[in-house]
């Protein structure tokens, strides 16, 4: 019998080796891959997200938990049958042009992946044309943009304007975030949502897709 509770606890603790070991034990014991993911790995990461949101966990701890979860996922994913890897939606994510910060964005990506969202991470310094190309290629439900500098925030507006020019704006939702970004700024540039942190970003995206 797989110990999903302990697996979740080790994810929360960010214990990379223990998570890999327990995941392998669950696989060897014949546990369903989906159960290992949902009841063990994702369940642990959901608690991490909640604690992070409440200020009980901090970025380094969340990064470790996400790393531990990812290690477990890598062991389970090859066992999922085709069509079993259902996702609830697709998100294209990136830090805007001129901005090289990626810790927050990476955290957002990990949180979203833990909620069964497919994430296309374009990385840092992504200009409006690159965002638009990715939207055309991947046809996401949501586009997420991050900016950590007040000087790069306007690139979010430039991207939304280019999406409108290309006739793509109505087909997706746009969420923005980053330290200097405010809800008022989001409203001003026509974004659909703003998030103050990674856990909130995940929740907002799930709401937007719903």
CATH number of the domain enclosing 24: 1.10.1240.10
pLDDT at 96: 97
End residue of a domain, out of 79, 110, 129: 79
Within 8 A by CB and 6+ apart from 138, the residues are: 90, 92, 120
- Classify residue 14: in a domain, yes or no: yes
- Classify residue 84: in a domain, yes or no: no
CB 201 within 8 A of CB 195: yes
Average pLDDT over all residues of the chain: 92
- Classify residue 37: in a domain, yes or no: yes
Same domain, 28 and 59: yes
Domain of residue 167 covers: 89-209
Same domain, 145 and 198: yes
Same domain, 205 and 142: yes
Residue 155 has pLDDT above 80, yes or no: yes
Total domains present in the chain: 2
Residue 144 has pLDDT above 90, yes or no: yes
Summarize pLDDT for 76-88 with one digit per residue, the tens: 988 876 555 668 8
3 state SS of 92: strand
Residue 190 has pLDDT above 90, yes or no: yes
Share of the chain above pLDDT 90, in %: 74
CB 177 within 8 A of CB 104: yes
Same domain, 8 and 59: yes
Q: How many Cα neighbours within 13 Å face the side chain of 37?
A: 20
């Amino acid at each position: 019998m797989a110990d999903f509770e302990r697996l979740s606890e080790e994810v929360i603790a960010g214990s990379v080796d223990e998570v890999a070991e327990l995941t392998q034990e669950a696989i060897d014991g014949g546990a369903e891959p989906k159960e290992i993911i949902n009841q063990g790995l994702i369940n642990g990461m959901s608690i991490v997200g909640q604690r992070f949101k409440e200020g009980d966990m901090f970025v380094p701890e969340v990064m470790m938990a996400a790393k531990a979860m990812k290690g477990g996922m890598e062991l389970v994913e090859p066992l999922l049958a085709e069509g079993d890897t259902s996702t609830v939606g697709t998100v294209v994510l990136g830090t805007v042009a001129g901005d090289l910060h990626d810790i927050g964005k990476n955290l957002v990506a990990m949180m979203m992946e833990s909620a069964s969202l497919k994430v296309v991470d374009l990385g840092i310094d992504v200009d409006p044309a690159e965002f638009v190309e990715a939207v055309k290629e991947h046809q996401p439900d949501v586009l997420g943009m991050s900016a950590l500098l007040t000087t790069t925030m306007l690139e979010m507006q430039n991207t939304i304007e280019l999406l409108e020019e290309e006739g793509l704006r109505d087909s997706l939702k746009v969420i923005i975030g980053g330290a200097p970004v405010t809800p008022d700024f989001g409203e001003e540039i026509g974004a659909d949502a703003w998030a103050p942190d990674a856990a909130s970003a995940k929740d907002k995206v799930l709401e937007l897709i719903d």
